[in-house]
Structure 1
Amino acid sequence: MDALPLSLPHRFRRAPRPAPDGRAPLLILLHGYGSNEDDLMGLAPYLDPRFSVVSVRAPLVLGTDSYAWFPIVWDERGISVEPAEVVAAIQPAVAFVEQAPLAYGALPGRTLLLGFSQGATMSAGVLLRRPDLVAGAVLMSGFATAELVAPGVTLSGKPVLITHGWFDDVVPVQMGRATRDLFESLGASVTYHEYPMGHQISEACLEDADRWMTEWLAALD
Structure 2
Amino acid sequence: MANFALEHLYRPAVNAAEKAPLLVLLHGYGSDMNDLFSFASELPEQYAIISAQAPHKMQPYGNAWYAIHWDQVGGGKFNDIEQAVASRELLGEFLEQVLEAYPVDPERVALVGFSQGTILSFAYALSYPQRIKCVVGLSGYIVEEMYAKNYRENDFSGLKVYSSHGSVDAVIPVDWARKTPGFLDELGIPNVFSEFPVGHGVAPQNFYEFKAWLEKHL
Instruction: State whether TM-score is above 0.5.
Output: yes
Quickly say closer, same or farther: Cα 1:124–1:202, change in 2 above 3 A: same
- Amino acid in structure 2 at the alignment position of 1:57: Q
Asked if 2 retains the 8 angstrom alpha-carbon contact of 1:26 and 1:52, the reply is yes
* Structure 1: distance between partners of 2:69 and 2:80: 9
What count of residue pairs does the alignment treat as equivalent? 213
Percent identity of equivalent pairs: 33
Please give the residue correspondences for 1:68-217 in structure 2 after superposition, counting only pairs within 5 Å: 68-74=64-70, 75=72, 76-150=74-148, 151=150, 152-156=153-157, 158-217=159-218
* Structure 1: distance between partners of 2:185 and 2:86: 24
- Offset, 1:65: 4.2
- Amino acid in structure 2 at the alignment position of 1:68: A
Establish whether residue 37 from structure 1 lines up as the match of residue 38 from structure 2. Answer: no
Give the CA RMSD over aligned residues: 1.7
- Offset, 1:156: 2.0
Asked if 1 retains the 8 angstrom alpha-carbon contact of 2:106 and 2:131, the reply is no
Quickly say closer, same or farther: Cα 1:181–1:83, change in 2 above 3 A: farther
- Offset, 1:32: 0.3
- Offset, 1:173: 0.8
- Amino acid in structure 2 at the alignment position of 1:52: A
Of 203-212 and 102-111, more deviation after overlay is shown by 102-111
Matched position secondary structure for 2:107:
coil
* Structure 2: distance between partners of 1:172 and 1:105: 39
Matched position secondary structure for 1:114:
strand
Quickly say closer, same or farther: Cα 1:199–1:48, change in 2 above 3 A: same
- Amino acid in structure 2 at the alignment position of 1:184: D
- Amino acid in structure 2 at the alignment position of 1:149: Y
* Structure 1: distance between partners of 2:159 and 2:195: 20
Tell me the TM-score normalised to structure 2 length.
0.91
What's the counterpart of residue 12 of structure 1?
10
Asked if 1 retains the 8 angstrom alpha-carbon contact of 2:123 and 2:143, the reply is no
Of 58-67 and 81-90, more deviation after overlay is shown by 81-90
- Offset, 1:64: 4.8
Q: What residue ranges of structure 1 are gaps of 5+ in the alignment?
A: none
* Structure 1: distance between partners of 2:101 and 2:112: 19
Quickly say closer, same or farther: Cα 1:132–1:20, change in 2 above 3 A: same
Quickly say closer, same or farther: Cα 1:65–1:77, change in 2 above 3 A: closer
